[in-house]
Every structure is written in C-alpha cells, then in structure tokens.
Structure 1
C-alpha cells in the first residue's frame, strides 16, 4: 500500500508541476519539477526520503526514455557527425575527469585524487532527458543539435567505466589499463552490437505477429513499452552495457523497413500518443525524484557537518565553471576543425553569433539522472569515510542543480526558439492566405455538403458549414498577432464576418431552447410545437454527421490549396510538409 501511495504521490506532483509551469514562465518544466520535489520532501515524509536504488532509477526511467529518444533521433545526422559524437562521448569525458578531478583535489586535499576523478567521471555523463527538454524548443543548428543528442545517448558508457575504475583504484590502490580497456570495450561495443542484435530480434517478432494476423494496435504498443525493460535486463545478464544496448536497439528499429498501410499508420499514431504521455510522466517523475533527493543529499553541507557551507558552495561553483569551461573549449576546438574542413576559415568560429551558439551548446549539457545514480552508489563504497562520501554526493548534487539552472536561464538567452524561428512573418502570412482559401472553399461547397434542416435550425441553410468555418476562423485569430499588418487586417475582418454568422446560428439555438421551456418569443410570437426528445437527438446526430462531412471535405481542399501554393512558390517544401502533416493527423482523427 505504501508503494501504491508513493506512485499516486509522484503522479500528483507531476500534474501539479505542469500546472505551476503555466504561472512560472521564466522557469523550464524540469526546474519547476525539481523545486516541487524538494519542497515536498521537506514538507511530507515519503519512502524516498531514505534514498532510492540507483539501478531502479536506471531501469525504470533512463532505459525507456533512451529507447524512445533513439527511435526518433535523426540517424542520418548521427552518422554524419559520428566522429564529433565520438569525440564528445570519449575525449571530452576524459578531459572533464582530468580537469574536475585535479581541481577538486587541489581545493579539498582531503579528498583522494581517485575519488575526485570519480566525481569527474559521473559529471561526464550528460542527462539525455534534460538535453531533450532543451533542444525540443531551442534552435542550435542541425550539426550542434545532432552532436548534443548523440553525446547524451552515448557518453554514459565512458563516464560509468571511468567512475568504476576510479572506485577500484580507491579500494585496491592499483589500476590495470588492460582490465579497464576490456571493461570499456565490453560495455561500449558489446552493448552496442548486442543492442543491434536484440533490436533485430524485436523487429522480427513484430513482423511475425503482423504476418500471422496476431498483431493489433494494443498488442503492438504493449510490446514497444516492454522492449526497453527486457533489453536492459538481458544486457545486464550478459554483462554488457545495458543503456547502450537499449539505445542501439532503438536505432536498429528506426532503421529497419516498416510497412506503410492505413493499419500501420493508425498503430503508429496510437503508439506515438502512448509514448508521448509516458515520456511526459517519466520525465516528470525523474525530476521530481531528483528534487526529493536533494534535501537529503545537501543537508549535511547545509548543517556544516562537512565543514564551512560557504566553502563547499564555493567548491561547487568553481567545479561547475571548470566543467562548463572545458566543454566550451572542447566544442570551440571542434567548431574550428569543422570550419577548416569546410574551407570557411578559423575566423568564422570567433564571430559573435558563432560563439553564442558554442556557449549555448556547452551550457546545454546539463547533468541529471545518470550522474545522480552513479553518485548514489558511493554509499556502498567502503573505501571512503562516511564524511567523504557525503561530501562528494553533496558536491555532485549542487553541480547538478547549478548546471540545470545555467541551462535553464542561459541557453534561452543565447539561442532563438524553434517556434519563433519557424513562425516568421512570411510563414504566418502564407498560413493566413491558406486558411482564408479554405474558408472560401467551404462556403462555396455549402450547397453540396452539410445541409441540415430542423426545428432549431430552419433559418440557417448550412449550420454545419458555419460551424466548420468558425473552427478555421479561430485559427485565423491565433495567427493574426504574428502576421504583417495587411494580412492581420484581412484575418480579423474574416474572423468578424464568420463570428457574425456563428452568433446568428447560436442565437437561433438559444431561441429554440427558450421555446422548449415554454417562454415563447420576446415579441409575443407563439412558440411552435416543441419537438420530441427523440427528434432533438436525431437533429443533433444529423448536425454532427454533417459537420464531419464538411470538415473532411475542407481538409481535402486544404491539401489541394497547399499543393497550389507550393507550385506558385507561396510556401517552400519544408513549410508545405509541416502543413500537410497537420492535415493528415486531422484526417486520421476523423477516421
């Protein structure tokens, strides 16, 4: 019962954070969830107050989120930037380990160098959940975005192996480069190729089920949800990199051929809806859990049992600056190399906009769940004293919070949002022209579709047409603020005209309702015989069917108008693709 209450508690916290996010626009949702989790941990005692199993954190949250992200990542962009991703996933992690380890040992000599490097190894792992949240609405550029996502998917192995090797050195005082190399190769290459094989087997299973007629949307979605957990546990039993195996299997499933039929489209749409909901819940829970752990992990530092709190805070700040500085210099060096390869010259990398983009990318590599799960394993290490373990965990927790805060406030200031980049004035004007054309086509087709007669709507020939026109008018109202003055004026004039028709229809319905209640007309007109309840339901059903018919025809007209606008260069191919995808989704919903 206690576990069930905890699950309900976490789900409630996620919902509450989503509501609070609407009232706290400067803060991103992950930061709101961390703050809410910390506040709840201080106010309400929960089982998480005494800690969480790091392995449970990985399998319940990291595995499915990595799996879903890898299935939808641009595999072509990953392959194109494979050497850059390898540089970030291996070379940068070692640079962070050396820089953070040496700095921490210099600031706090009581912390052994191996333990300080273990902290650096944990800090080498970028949080894929936080990166996804940042890149979802920020425009980093195609190359930088591919590098960020690839780094977040693949650098966990390097950080984990370095962390474990440092703990081994701390416990035994010896280090075997051969053994460390074998462990790294087994985790990285074993996990990658093992994941590819398991992804191929999963694809084969889905194909067999489809060909035998056993596949259906519900079964397909359930298998997809089960796959990351099965693959993670299978990889752990084979002693290969479990997280990398999950990522590789997701990439394999995205690359293998899929049938494209109406049935598979519906299955894909249903699966996407389920994964979107699950991703929101898991993302929310992992940040709430992270927030709930922070008071427990930071309490010794705040109380002063680990020394002067101001000194410890200074250490956190210095280490975070070192971490971000190393990332920035490494990324700048990569940009210089890429510019030389393109023949652009080194000077282009030091232009103001280029430096802003590089700095934004450096700060976007926030730390989170993987780092926390690694640091929590220190509680089982006998090589460190209790005070030493508490010091390292408190420093790591402070750095996690600080990197998330920097990413939350600095990245939006350095990079434009994708929404604002896409929502240019020319694109908005084109969408207004398209919507006006759809409304005109709906009105022109009124004599062919949507005719409904009845006691409540006799005075309006085409109520279904007016209802659908009003839906498109609402789109115009949303577009008008971002449009040019001329386009906005056309949009607002059409909104006013359609709203007048809709209000007329609404007024007729209200008069009919008063007649049904026996009030009669205000001018003394006698009310007609009230229709029976079955007649009213019949009229409602007919109106609903007519609205769907008009909406379906309007979507067909919209596709035709998009094609015509591409032909006369009113919109580009990318914009047309986005508009067509929106229409296809609406058509699937109607079906």
Structure 2
C-alpha cells in the first residue's frame, strides 16, 4: 500500500530522531555521518535478515516506501537549493575574493580534469572486468562523481579547525563546483543519449557551459540584490525570513525555466545576502532570527539527506562485477581528485603562494555525497545505469564515512604548524 506524503515525512522524521539519539548516546560521531552509518547498518541488517529468511520479506515494505521517494528530484529540485543557500550565507566574501582564482580554477578546470581522468581510467577498468560500459557513459560517471558535495564538505568543516586560507578554498570550491559538475554531466548525458546535443562541437559545448554557469551567476546576483533592497526597507524578522525563502525557491525555479544553473544562482544569492544583507540590511534581532532559522533548516535537511543516503542501499542492488568495479573506482576517483586539485594550483603557484600541505587536505576533503547519487539515479534507463549507480553509491559511502571521519587527522598531519592565513 502506497504511503501518503505525510506518512513518509513522519517516518523519516521518526528515524532521524531515533538514529540521532542512538548516535548521540552510543557512537558520538558527527551528527550527519552518524545518522548515515546507523541508517546504512540498519539497511544492511534488513538485507542480511532477508537473505537468511527469504520467506519473511522484511525489507519489502521498507524498499517500497523508499522507492516512493524520488531521490534525484527530492535533492536536485528540492533540498539542494535550501542547503546551498544556507551554506553560502556563512561564506566570507572577502576571504572568497582573495582566493577566487584558486576556487574558480578547481571548480572549473579541476572538475573537467577529474571528469576525463575518472572517465578514461574507469572505462579501462570496466573493460578489464568485463563490464560493457561505453566510453561516453564512463565519462558521464566521471562527470557525476567529480564535483565535491557542499552538504558533506560544509558539514565536516563545522567539526574541525582548518586554516582560514584552506577552509575558504574547500568551502568555496564545494559550493561552486557542484553547479559546474551538473552542467558538465547534463552535456555529457545529452551526447551519450544521442539527444539534441549529440552532434554539437566544442564551441557549442562551451556556449552551453557559459550560458548555464554565467547565466546562473548573473541571475543569482540580480535576485540577491532585489531581495537585499527589500530586506533593507523592512525591520520585521518573520517577513524577512519569508523573503529569503522566496529568494531561494523563486530563483531556483526561474533558473530551471530559463536554462541556467540553479545551484550557482542560489549560491551567488546566498553569498550576497550573507555578506551585504546580513551586515547592512538587517537589525540585530532580525539577523539573529534569520541565521538561526537557516541553521535549523540546514540541520533538518542535512539529517534527512544523510538518512536517505544510508537507506538507499536497499534500492541499490550490487552484483559481483559491480562490487569489484566499485572497489577499483575509489582509488581512481581519489587519483582524479589529486590531478583536479594539483594541476590548477600548480599553474597558479607560478604567481601566488599557497599554504604548505594544502593539496592533500583539499584532495582528502573533497567529499562526494547526495548530489552524485541523485545524478546517477537521474541517468536514463539502460544497461549502463545499474552498475554506474552501484559504483557511485560505493564511492559516496567510502567518501563520507572513511574520508569524513579521518579528515581531521589528515588536516593535523598535513598542516602541522601552519598559521591561519
């Protein structure tokens, strides 16, 4: 029997509260990671019980309920806009400007380098394992797995102390490169699927890229300025919070209508409001209420997202070949991340200096998360989708749990003795 939307939300909130309580009392992990670990453990326990006692069909109702949640639509067209805006509110524009060259290079050139490195090496590995995935679809996998997830990255950054120069690069890149990654992914999938852009050349791809990324930034700046003017003319915190909610939803929806990048648009709008709006358009009372509201909303949506990532193992079915490919994909993605970070920074280091030890921190701190899973789920139906989804899920799980829980140690080891700059 299909559950109503209210019943689904009630179940998710109940699980978030229960698993959050268990994590707080027993595990003591960072909240989001703890939720995902417990959800993943519960899902695997259901799978194991089902294998041991197939007649019980214990995981059937849970799987059916999860299939009602359209993960890619829920994240890409629902949660993501709010999560990106909430994260962008806390980005220091001055720090961002001073590292703009590095952030831009990693979010554009770095994503493209990583896409082609992952795509090429994965295609070779898939072939050796007997996994028949054409090169263009391996490239699509490279595009969806290359952008770091701002939700996961910002969540981890809240729990550790990182030099300001490195933190600005990690946070800034994660907020922008997912928008760039989504654009690259859509172009590659359009070519792979033989759609309208199947025969386009490099100039047309560049035009589409500029339209999506540049148009998104322009839309975000215009929408942010309009909201800023409205906020500056008021001193009513409830109404001002409503204005920011309208800013996020209307901007993201309009971006989809005019075919520009919604993620980039809401990030630019969020940075604008988080700096100029908070400083010059709000009273102290409004500032406190608004930031507290967005912090709470960010925490709620983060919890929901990581819970869903953990439970998605019930939907993702993995065969032996896909499992082998997934294990090999993890070092491939890390290697591609190394190239995507080190090449742009090495080029920029010819005219500016960077914090010593920043590259390993940026590589290990490049967490993958829900965006990659959502993009994999959005792939058109075909023989390539199931293995790519399984491999993507494995990389994301490794990234959040292993990289997320060891990131603090990597920071201490790589930046030992570094001053904040």
TM-score, length-scaled by structure 2: 0.85
Residue of structure 1 in register with 2:180 after alignment: 158
The residue that corresponds to 1:399 in the other structure is 395
Asked if 1:171 corresponds to 2:209, the answer is no
1:201 alignment counterpart: 226
Deviations 1:437-491 (A, max 9, x none): xxxxxxxxxxxxxxxxxxxxxxxxxxxxxxxxxxxxxxxxxxxxxxxxxxxxxxx
> Which of the numbers 317, 325, 345 marks the counterpart of 2:335?
325
Query: CA offset at residue 154 of structure 1?
Result: 0.8
User: Mean Cα displacement is larger for which, 182-191 or 314-323?
Assistant: 314-323
Distance of 1:240 and 1:338 partners within structure 2? 28
Shift of 1:414: 1.7
> 282, 305, 329: which one pairs with 2:301?
282
| In 2, Cα distance between equivalents of 1:102 and 1:177 | 19
Say which of 231, 249, 255 aligns to 1:235.
Answer: 255
Asked if the contact 1:49/1:293 (under 8 Å) is kept, the reply is no
Q: Highest CA radius of gyration, 1 or 2? A: 1
Q: Is 1:37–1:291's contact at 8 Å kept on the other side of the alignment?
A: yes
Q: For residue 199 of structure 2, give the secondary structure of its aligned residue in structure 1.
A: coil
Matches of 1:280 and 1:146, distance apart in 2: 21
Deviation string 1:211-258 (CA, Å, 9 cap, x unpaired) is xxxx42222222223321121111112211111111111122234366
CA distance in 1, matches of 2:251, 2:134: 37
Contact 1:117 1:166 in 2 (8 A): yes
Partner of 1:6: 8
Say which SS state the counterpart of residue 411 (structure 1) adopts: helix
Which stretches in structure 1 are left out of the alignment for 5+ residues? 422-573, 575-591
**Which residue in 2 is equivalent to 1:527?**
none
* Structure of higher RCO (CA pairs closer than 8 Å, 6+ residues apart): 2
Partner Cα distance (1:187, 1:336) in 2 = 27
Cα deviation code 1:120-153 (max 9, x no counterpart): 0001121101111111122332222111111111
CA deviations over 1:489-512 (Å, ceiling 9, x no partner): xxxxxxxxxxxxxxxxxxxxxxxx
Deviation at 1:283, TM superposition (A): 0.4
Displacement after TM superposition at 1:24 (Å): 4.6
Q: Say whether the 8 Å CA contact 1:123–1:367 is kept in structure 2.
A: yes
Matched residue SS, 1:125: coil
Question: Distance in 1 between the 2:405 and 2:309 partners?
Answer: 19
Shift of 1:77: 1.2
Map of 1:442-457 to 2, 5 A cutoff? none
Question: What secondary structure, in the 3-state scheme, does the structure 2 residue paired with 1:365 have?
Answer: coil
Out of 302, 312, 315, the position equivalent to 2:322 is 312
Unaligned runs of 5+ in 2: 47-58
Q: Would the aligned equivalents of 1:232 and 1:243 in 2 still touch at CA under 8 Å? A: yes
Aligned mates of 1:14, 1:397 — CA distance in 2: 21
CA distance in structure 2 between the partners assigned to 1:328 and 1:317 by the alignment: 18
Supply the distance in 2 between the matched residues of 1:336 and 1:246 (Cα, whole angstroms).
Answer: 30
Matched with 2:22 is: 20
Residue of structure 1 aligned with 2:286, choices 262, 267, 289: 267
Tell me by how many angstroms 1:35 deviates.
Answer: 3.0
* Deviation at residue 195 of structure 1 after TM alignment: 0.8
Q: Is the 8 A contact 1:157 1:184 kept in 2?
A: no
Q: Give the whole-Å Cα distance in 2 for the aligned partners of 1:26 and 1:326.
A: 32
Deviations 1:39-97 (A, max 9, x none): 55545625323551523322321101111211220111111111111111111111111
Cα gap change, 1:51 to 1:65, in 2 (>3 Å): closer
Verify: 1:182 aligned to 2:204, yes or no: no
Q: Which residue of 2 aligns with 1:457?
A: none
Match of 1:105 in 2: 123
- C-alpha distance after superposition, 1:84-116 (max 9, x if no partner): 111111111111111111122112231000000
Structure 2 distance, partners of 1:229, 1:116, is 33
1:358 matched to 2:377? The reply is: no
Q: Secondary structure at the match of 1:286?
A: helix
Equivalences, count: 391
Question: What is the alpha-carbon distance in structure 2 between the residues aligned to residue 157 and residue 327 of structure 1?
Answer: 17
Q: 1:91 aligns with which of 99, 102, 109?
A: 109
- Give the 3-state SS of the residue equivalent to 2:315 in structure 1: helix
Alignment CA distance shift 1:18-1:265 (3 Å) = same
Cα distance in 1 for residues equivalent to 2:278 and 2:75:
32
